[in-house]
Amino acid sequence: RPPVVTIMGHVDHGKTRLLDAIRVTDVVKGEAGGITQHIGAYQVHHPVEGGVRELTFIDTPGHEAFTAMRARGAKVTDIAVLVVAADDGVKPQTIEALNHAQAADVPIVVAVNKVDKPGADPAKVRGQLTEYGLVAEEYGGTTMFVDVSAKAGTGLEELLDAILLTTDAALELLEDASVNAQGVAIEARLDKGRGAVATVLVQRGTLRTGDIVVAGSEWGRVRALIGDTGAQIKEAPPSLPVEVLGFNGTPEAGDRVAVVESEARAREITDYRERQKRDRLAARGAGSGAGRSLAEMMRELKEGAGRKEFPLVVKGDVQGSVEAIVGSLEKVGNDEVRARVLQSGVGAITESDVTLAQASGAVVVGFNVRAHKEAREAAERAGVEIRYYNIIYNLMDDVKDAMSGLLAPTLRETMLGNAQILEIFNVSKVGKIAGCRVTDGTIERGANVRLIRDGVVVHEGKLSQLKRFKDDAKEVVAGQECGMSFESYQDMRAGDVIECYRVEEIKRTL
């Protein structure tokens, strides 16, 4: 089947214009003079030796939509074209796009755009991307770089060639016409005249009018199929984008589409999915969703679920610390498991980071940065764990613990204060009470304590009572006197120092 291509890259590097330019040059439609419509994807025909081949382009450029789709469990894109403007070079979003494509394991072709511009330096782009593991074929690597100008329309044929070559080398896209059609809804909307309209990319089988289809929690009988030229077609083979009319409700982009044998079966499936959706919503507080927590990952590791990689998205306040973290993360691990940093960068945690984490089951780590409100909400919805650190050591420790499957509820001690025992009282029925003065900080009821005598810890335990005069006290601050007794310990003495601390589990999320 034809490859499905997504165009990605930095803003203003010409993604949209390139999509337009490729579409305009399409041999078949160009000849037919067909009017094109935007339905979320289009297909072009490219003459090759021995015939014509098709390529399908997703009409919404950028990695956000790509990863959002992936987060919903849909793998639509077969190959990514990374657009880099030759006059501007590699930019932050270029790298972000690259990370997203690599996290999805899709092969990449680089289109070096705007080569018509006076300041264009295509060689520099090749050099810059080498640093990120994309080495041009002409430099001995395996990535195809093609110089194009979306404006002048040059290099487009070569780009299509490169996409096909890369696809053929990396993927086996077999067309399987014998099965019931399956695919993905890439766009959907409610049309005033036509009802629910979903653009579907068939991935296996052939979709025909009259078929009963299920998409997410919607279903319908295909009333009509409309291609990207606006013409009605009878059947849609794999990778041909078509608008499907006849759904009872509007599916969501990313919903998987499948043909089923009967209306009864369609109802059964959609009812089940409805229920699942409700259950998921209900369980959200419990941290369900596609993203996983460190504890969950650890459990999977323990259960030997065969997880080899420990995916992370790392954001930090300055380049130096991000590099240090990524460098250290890359070093941890053994034969069975290793950390994989899907994306790293400077700045706040964004929605795009969260979507990537969700799509790849990763944890997001913020070092001296926080998540945007939208990102926080998205993480909550998707059940993606965001962890904040300000000490690299703690971060590394947690990751290492989780990786070795040893992440006990991570306990951390916070010192509350110290007190000195002035005198011991014997109280009938209660036992021994230590009369103390708080020397610094505070002593809190129920807190953990250590009894230190001559610099040696002689007892560790909990406070059973804390009193100010005759009354129970919640806390006693520095300078005040109080009475204390200990759970199952009586042998305290005047002069002992009482160290009071709290043991907490580390915050798992914000």
Which residue is listed with tokens 């009333």?
A: 223
149 binds ligand GDP (CB under 6 A): yes
Residue 13 interacts with ligand GDP (CB under 6 A): yes or no: yes
Cα–Cα distance list, 259 to 182, 249, 382 (Å): 6, 16, 28
Residue 155 Cβ vs ligand GDP, minimum distance, rounded to whole Å: 9
Q: Is 161 helix (H, G, I), strand (E, B) or coil?
A: helix
Say how far apart CA 9 and CA 395 lie, in whole Å: 31
Nearest distance, CB of residue 380 and ligand GDP, angstroms: 30
Residue closer to ligand GDP (CB basis): 9 or 316:
9
Residue 485 near ligand GDP by CB under 6 A: no
Residue 114 engages ligand GDP in binding (rule: CB under 6 A): yes
DSSP state of 173: -
Among 113, 167, 344, 465, binds ligand GDP (CB under 6 A): 113
Which residue number, 11 or 179, has a Cβ lying nearer to ligand GDP?
A: 11
Return the structure tokens found at 465: 């009572």
Report the 10 Å Cβ neighbour count for 120: 19
- Does residue number 25 form part of the binding site for ligand GDP (CB under 6 A)? no
Please select the residue that binds ligand GDP; options are 4, 5, 6, 14, rule is CB under 6 A.
14
Please say which residue, 85 or 242, places its beta carbon nearer to ligand GDP: 85
In angstroms, give the least distance from the CB of 9 to ligand GDP. 6
Q: Is 126 in the site for ligand GDP (CB under 6 A)?
A: no
Q: Contact, 73 vs 103, CB < 8 A?
A: no
Shortest distance (Å) from residue 42 CB to ligand GDP: 16
12 sits near ligand GDP (criterion: CB under 6 A): yes
Task: Spell 6-21 as b/e; 16+ CB within 10 A means b.
Answer: bbbbbeebbbbbbbeb
Q: Which is nearer to ligand GDP, 149 or 321 (CB)?
A: 149
Name the residue among 452, 483, 480, 481 with its Cα closest to residue 467. Answer: 483
- Work out whether 508 is an interface residue with ligand GDP (CB under 6 A): no
CA atoms within 13 A on the CB side of 198: 30
453 binds ligand GDP (CB under 6 A): no
- Where is 187: in which H helix or E strand? strand 182-191
Which amino acid would we find at residue 238?
A: P
Residues in 31-70 at the binding interface with ligand GDP, rule: CB under 6 A: 61
At 190, list the tokens.
Answer: 């409610």
Binding to ligand GDP by residue 117, rule CB under 6 A?
yes
- Decide: is 17 part of the binding site for ligand GDP (CB under 6 A): yes
Strand partners, 256: 184
Tokens for 358, please give them: 């969700």
Residues that bind ligand GDP (CB under 6 A): 9, 11-17, 61, 113-114, 116-117, 149-151
